[in-house]
Structure 1
Amino acid sequence: MNISERSVNRPVTVIILVAACVLFGFLSLDRIGLDLLPELNLPMAAVVTIYPNADPETVEGLVTVPIERALRSVRNIKDVTSTSMENVSFCFCEFNWGSDLGAAQEDMRVKIDTMKHQLPEGTQNPIVTLLDPSQIPMMMVTVGMPGDAGDVTRVTQELVKPAVERVGGVAGVSISGGADRIISVEYDREKLVESGLSPFLLQQLITFQNLSVPAGVIVDEGVRYQTRVGAKFTSADEIADLAIGLKTPSQSPEGIGGFLGLSFLMPTFLTIGDVAKVQETFDEAEGYTRVNGKPAVVMHVYKQSGENTVTVARQVRDAMERLGEEHSDIEIEYVFDQSVFITNSIASLAENAGIGALLAVAVLFLFLRHLGSTLLVAVSMPLSIIFAFVMMYAFKLTVNLLTLGGLALGVGMVVDNSIVVLENIFRRQELGDSPRTAAIEGTAEVSRAITASTLTTIAVFLPVVFIQSMAGHIFKDLAMTVTFSLLASLAVALTVLPLMASFFVRVSDSYIEQARRDESRKESLGGIYDKMLNWALANRWLVLGVIGAVLVVAIFSFPRLGTELLKPMDMGRVDISLRLPSGTP
């Protein structure tokens, strides 16, 4: 008993399995991540080392070269490149594809720790980090409001940024273009000298008073209390009122007056406000951002690795809307949002795939001239796609441009098996078999052929999964999706289609008569083909010459074609960059 016979003899079992697969398919589709491209784990790491106040040549000789020498002994290392800049050294390590990046990062840290003593004094600890494409900002948001840049920065840091960071899936938020609040202490040199102080001593006094350190635990009646000593400054007035010494007689205008002339017994403390001007101000901004003519701050929102970009972006927008309702003076503008481009691109691709499926059904009806049979083949397409979603979820694939491209590519292939099976079932019914016998025998006759054809097609795509390169990691999702859809179409053609054909496909006498009348049309098409074939055989050297000329043109044209990993994509926005002369303030 073959698989098609088991399916026809057990319709309830097949219907239950199909219903379960459809249910799992819709549940999987709801849980599959949505992204622009497949997740990439680039086999690259970077070592960043800061050497303050050093020129590029010094950074290269004293920092970059020793670090490079140490990194070249890391396991599975492929290449090490470096860039030395003023105050900063960058070393980039490229590993072989398939390497354990966690172990490689730990090995890099060990190598760096063993050679840190070779670095010059003042060099900060090297930072070892993996290069993660997900750390590209998924959103760029501008925050504006009435007031100066300092007010906008304060509101962004105190209200907007915490609201976004609380959203699930957000890894972090960075702010650029703002003016941070600072406390400026502008000392008077003459007053410092008169008081016997120096700028360095004034800095040390402020630093040592701006400390809060743990002081242990106090237990009182079974209750533990955490204690701290000291406090940090919170305003300019606190710094201005900080006592740093005693005033000299010349700095005390009261002289020896006061109550009973005893004020000289009451010391007058010298504060920072007596020798310096202390005020709250804003740090000088590195750039300027304007939204609709008002000062604004740019926020870069980063998502956690593996999170759904569209879902996280939607939650961020919801948080922004709630914040805008609570604070009407805050204006939010979205400069860049990956989710919008992702949604539009995938919706366009899905729409084109749907149109392709409808065209395939229309062409099929044009040749079959039988509505019931056309509908059976049409049903096999969504069933195959739904089954493919289940396998995509099981293998942790996301819905992206490549997986949808694989499904769109598979739409035209999934109907092939069903068409072959259905045509043979028709043929068996025309020969006089009952619908049930025709469904079983017709499917059994072509089962090996369509299985071999499907496996041959899969054999073309499957090796892409094992390619150890960036191209292999990108197109692996496409290859796996095509494989899943073809396997699903084979299962549908061997099980579901025979069952449905045994119930709904009936070849009537009127259809047979209509088919015989259509034979004349088929013969006319065949006659046109026969004439073309006879002409080609009679002019074989001309045909071969044309083919050879086309082949030569193709060979010479290939080296002149452009080469790139991915075609540039239209993001639907216009960016204008203006480079000013060096030294422009």
Structure 2
Amino acid sequence: MTRYFIQRPIAVIMTFVALIGLSVLAWLNRPVSLLPDIDVPEMAIRVDYANASPEAIENNILKPMRESLATMQGLSNLQSTASNENGLLRLRFNYGQRMDLAFVEVNEKIDRLTDQFPEDMSRPRVIRVNYTDIPIAKIQLIPKDASNIVESSRLAENVIKKRIEQIEGISLVDLNGTVDEQIKIIPDLKALERAGLEIEAISKAIQSANQELGGVEVKDGQYQYYMRMAGRLNNAEDIAQIPVKINEEKYIPIHDLAEVKTAEEKVSGFHFFNQNRGIVMNIHKQPQAVMTELMPEIEKSIAQFKKDYPTLDIAITQDQSIFLKAGINNLQGSLLFGGLFAFAVLFLFMGSFRLPVIMGISLPLSLILSFLFFEIFDLSINIISLSGLALGLGMLIDNAIIVLENISRKRMEGLNLMDACVAGVTEVQGALISSVLTTLAVFVPLIFLNGVSGVLFFDQAVSVGIILSVSLGVSFVLLPLLYRLFFEKKKDFKKEDSRFFKSIVRGFEKSHHWSFRNKGLSLFLIIMIIPLGLWAFWNMEQKGLPKITRTDAVVKINWNEPIDVIENANRIQELLENLNSQLQFSETDAGIPQYLLSLENAELQESLIYLQFKNEEAIGEQLNFLENLVRQSYPKASYEKENAKNAFDMLFASEEPYFRVQWQDPNLKNASPAAIKPVLESFPAENFQVATIFGGRKQHDFNHQAARIITIWD
């Protein structure tokens, strides 16, 4: 077979050119994302009910939903949390469950319960949990004049949000910090008393005027017209002119009985960027979008927004594409250094410039051809699949070196060029195939892992198998052909080993002879290596992920006091003013955020702060300083610091506690700190933390019972 390919160089080269073209098209059409598209078997239901206590949300909303959803097929865990004005119910299913069908079923069950919910409550929101759908970036919109927050909110919702969503590949723009305008009517009690009216007269007049009237049909000969009578109130001026009936003959406008004005609506949360109030946009991409192409389009739009809307300061933060860029750069670095080292090895050991050139052709060619099989197996270009390619690059180089060296050795034995190419490849085919199969024997079982790990390592295992298989094809077909084309004009072949190679050979021969002359000592040294290796293994630090250089962190503060969101925001602003110049920027969500995809059950007295520092050394110092400041100024407050979340932390939970303990009492309605105190005194762990609870405002529910969470840190 090898002889057949070598004798038809034009056909082989044209075939590879065609495959390269298809591979380039496949590469351009492959989605580029941070991680593979993972169908996480989790779902969340958010409940927003203004002015409702945790008990009301639990008894009237969460409990009926739990009882209805508990019968769902494949449901493995059901847990709810109730707090002031909102609640959260999380569902976890067995891996492999059809989440699209489960999503439909959950919505159907909620629709059946709608009649049981309070009339003034909005419909609960069902959210699919997808860790690969974290925001790829955040856009900060800060009005230069703080009083223009309402106009900026309208601009963000009606213009900027829609224009960003028009970018191909964007699935959702999730906003927080927007403020709507409301109309306030402040009755003048003295004017009402003089007119002999009650306050209800104003509300009745407004309700009567704010009606959608039916259409009117007007005929004019052979023409027919449909007219709609506008009756809806649009602004404060319309309301101010509404007449209020005093008697059958006298009416008085509302502006004589009350003050009518526009003002900001009451909000339950604020967003700050560098201590300036503003609006944040979380940008979510579609699964098939190419992230590396998406971010330049977003940046281009932002540049245009800055020109069109000079009243806004606009910035992009928390760009998640840097992880993907780092992965691509690592692959490019592996390819570059792998090729350079391969050239150096060939130059040092073989002393021929032709062999490095052949290597320089086959190495990137194998990598490009791999993307054709990415298209066939429907793999995306992500960190996991790229890591598989990087792993396979080393063995790809090995295969090429072995084939080229063996062909050269056959020529040294006296075979002509054609026979040397054929014999050199045929002789090592079995060994190379066996070597590749033994490597695949390690990675292929990863395909059969269960859960999220199986989905992640599927891409890695398949990509390793692809590049190794492609390397075999290139080594058996293209390399001998290139060898023949490069060496066919060289009549006299003589392999010239470099001095470096000869010195290594001499050193190896000396060590080989020494080990055979001292068999006992050699065996003793080998045996001693085994316990040293075991000792090193047992003393190695074990982690889910290697340490990542970080310059950002997240701080959660719960004041544990019945304060409003304005006081909450003021306290955060005062704290951040004490941080030094090492802080690059900060983002704060004070109170309850407006995100549609939020899975946090926040409260008015809670704040989430994202801190970006200039270097890693400043993180520990500044966070400890901030914690001490909180402890001194607000002793009741709880302070939690953690790494800023990214896709890897959410999937692998590298900074999560060792495990969590759910403590519950069937006879306990509220898991108060006093009730759990006897348990903590005899708890069999030293380093643990109890979940924060404030005056019964938050309830963790598991299996329909009040509970407390005990977090165990190893």
Match of 1:323? 305
Secondary structure of the structure 1 residue equivalent to 2:262 = strand
Match of 1:453? 435
Q: Which of 15, 24, 42 in structure 1 is aligned with 2:22?
A: 24
Equivalent-residue separation in structure 1 for 2:354 and 2:124 (angstroms): 70
Match of 2:521? 538
**What is the number of residues matched between the two proteins?**
560
Secondary structure of the structure 2 residue equivalent to 1:399 = coil
Q: CA deviation at 1:327?
A: 3.7
Secondary structure of the structure 2 residue equivalent to 1:337 = coil
Contact 1:357/1:412 (<8 A) preserved? no
Instruction: Tell me, yes or no, if structure 1 residue 245 matches structure 2 residue 245.
Output: yes
Equivalent-residue separation in structure 2 for 1:288 and 1:520 (angstroms): 68
Contact 1:368/1:374 (<8 A) preserved? no
Match of 1:73? 71
Contact 1:38/1:400 (<8 A) preserved? yes
Runs of 5+ consecutive residues of structure 2 not aligned to the other structure: 569-714
Match of 2:596? none
Trace 1:26-105 onto structure 2 (pairs within 5 A). 26-105=24-103
Q: CA deviation at 1:159?
A: 3.9
Q: CA deviation at 1:517?
A: 11
Deviations 1:425-462 (A, max 9, x none): 12221122111121122212222221222222223212
Equivalent-residue separation in structure 2 for 1:545 and 1:283 (angstroms): 76
Q: 1:77 to 1:424 in 2, by over 3 A?
A: same
Q: CA deviation at 1:337?
A: 2.2
Q: CA deviation at 1:196?
A: 5.5
Q: 1:338 to 1:552 in 2, by over 3 A?
A: closer
Instruction: Give the partner amino acid of 2:21.
Output: L
Trace 1:513-552 onto structure 2 (pairs within 5 A). 522-532=505-515, 535=518, 537-538=520-521, 540-541=523-524, 543-552=526-535
Equivalent-residue separation in structure 2 for 1:213 and 1:19 (angstroms): 71
Match of 2:4? 6
Match of 2:377? 395
Secondary structure of the structure 2 residue equivalent to 1:491 = helix
Match of 1:491? 473
Q: CA deviation at 1:388?
A: 0.7
Q: CA deviation at 1:8?
A: 0.9
After TM superposition, the structure 1 stretch with the greater mean CA deviation from structure 2, 87-96 or 205-214, is 205-214
Instruction: Give the partner amino acid of 2:533.
Output: V
Match of 1:251? none
Match of 2:272? 289
Match of 1:131? 129
Deviations 1:406-438 (A, max 9, x none): 222111111222222222212221122111121
Secondary structure of the structure 1 residue equivalent to 2:44 = strand
Q: CA deviation at 1:485?
A: 0.7
Instruction: Tell me, yes or no, if structure 1 residue 350 matches structure 2 residue 348.
Output: no
Structure 1 outlier segments of 4+, above 6 Å: 216-226, 515-518, 574-581
Equivalent-residue separation in structure 1 for 2:560 and 2:61 (angstroms): 32
Trace 1:140-155 onto structure 2 (pairs within 5 A). 140-147=138-145, 148-150=147-149, 151-155=151-155
After TM superposition, the structure 1 stretch with the greater mean CA deviation from structure 2, 157-166 or 67-76, is 157-166
What percentage of aligned pairs have identical amino acids? 25
Equivalent-residue separation in structure 1 for 2:220 and 2:474 (angstroms): 75
After TM superposition, the structure 1 stretch with the greater mean CA deviation from structure 2, 406-415 or 318-327, is 318-327
Secondary structure of the structure 2 residue equivalent to 1:167 = coil
Equivalent-residue separation in structure 2 for 1:517 and 1:288 (angstroms): 65
Equivalent-residue separation in structure 2 for 1:334 and 1:186 (angstroms): 41
Equivalent-residue separation in structure 2 for 1:467 and 1:294 (angstroms): 48
Secondary structure of the structure 1 residue equivalent to 2:141 = strand
Q: Which of 293, 302, 310 in structure 2 is aligned with 1:311?
A: 293
Q: 1:331 to 1:495 in 2, by over 3 A?
A: same
Instruction: Give the partner amino acid of 1:453.
Output: S
Runs of 5+ consecutive residues of structure 1 not aligned to the other structure: 249-266
Equivalent-residue separation in structure 2 for 1:437 and 1:422 (angstroms): 14
Higher helix share: 1
Q: 1:288 to 1:105 in 2, by over 3 A?
A: closer
Q: 1:208 to 1:162 in 2, by over 3 A?
A: farther
Q: 1:230 to 1:571 in 2, by over 3 A?
A: farther
Q: CA deviation at 1:333?
A: 1.6
Deviations 1:478-535 (A, max 9, x none): 2221111111101101111121122223676573465899667524322224424654
After TM superposition, the structure 1 stretch with the greater mean CA deviation from structure 2, 220-229 or 495-504, is 220-229
Q: 1:578 to 1:87 in 2, by over 3 A?
A: closer
Deviations 1:462-484 (A, max 9, x none): 22223221112222222221111
Q: CA deviation at 1:361?
A: 2.8
Match of 1:412? 394
Secondary structure of the structure 2 residue equivalent to 1:289 = strand
Secondary structure of the structure 1 residue equivalent to 2:244 = strand
Contact 1:84/1:90 (<8 A) preserved? yes
Q: Which of 251, 257, 272 in structure 2 is aligned with 1:269?
A: 251
Match of 1:203? 203
Secondary structure of the structure 1 residue equivalent to 2:270 = coil
Q: What TM-score do you get using the length of structure 1 for normalisation?
A: 0.84
Equivalent-residue separation in structure 2 for 1:227 and 1:466 (angstroms): 67
Equivalent-residue separation in structure 2 for 1:131 and 1:318 (angstroms): 30
Secondary structure of the structure 2 residue equivalent to 1:35 = coil
Q: Which of 270, 273, 283 in structure 2 is aligned with 1:301?
A: 283
Match of 1:166? 166
Deviations 1:288-345 (A, max 9, x none): 6356x86543233332343233333322222222232334443322233223453355
Equivalent-residue separation in structure 1 for 2:64 and 2:107 (angstroms): 14
Q: 1:215 to 1:13 in 2, by over 3 A?
A: farther
Equivalent-residue separation in structure 1 for 2:11 and 2:236 (angstroms): 79
Q: CA deviation at 1:370?
A: 2.0
Q: What TM-score do you get using the length of structure 2 for normalisation?
A: 0.70
Equivalent-residue separation in structure 1 for 2:158 and 2:184 (angstroms): 21
Deviations 1:265-286 (A, max 9, x none): xx55322212111112223564
Contact 1:149/1:295 (<8 A) preserved? no
Contact 1:341/1:571 (<8 A) preserved? no
Equivalent-residue separation in structure 2 for 1:126 and 1:139 (angstroms): 27
Trace 1:366-385 onto structure 2 (pairs within 5 A). 366-385=348-367
Equivalent-residue separation in structure 1 for 2:231 and 2:100 (angstroms): 40
Match of 1:511? 494
Equivalent-residue separation in structure 2 for 1:187 and 1:581 (angstroms): 36
Equivalent-residue separation in structure 2 for 1:11 and 1:335 (angstroms): 53
Deviations 1:32-80 (A, max 9, x none): 2222222222111123344554422343344333322332321222222
After TM superposition, the structure 1 stretch with the greater mean CA deviation from structure 2, 359-368 or 478-487, is 359-368
After TM superposition, the structure 1 stretch with the greater mean CA deviation from structure 2, 511-520 or 151-160, is 511-520
Instruction: Give the partner amino acid of 1:168.
Output: E
Q: 1:562 to 1:204 in 2, by over 3 A?
A: farther
Deviations 1:162-216 (A, max 9, x none): 3323323323334333443222211223434554554455335434533447749
Secondary structure of the structure 2 residue equivalent to 1:74 = coil
Q: 1:229 to 1:340 in 2, by over 3 A?
A: farther
After TM superposition, the structure 1 stretch with the greater mean CA deviation from structure 2, 114-123 or 333-342, is 114-123
Cα-Cα RMSD = 3.4
Contact 1:55/1:85 (<8 A) preserved? yes
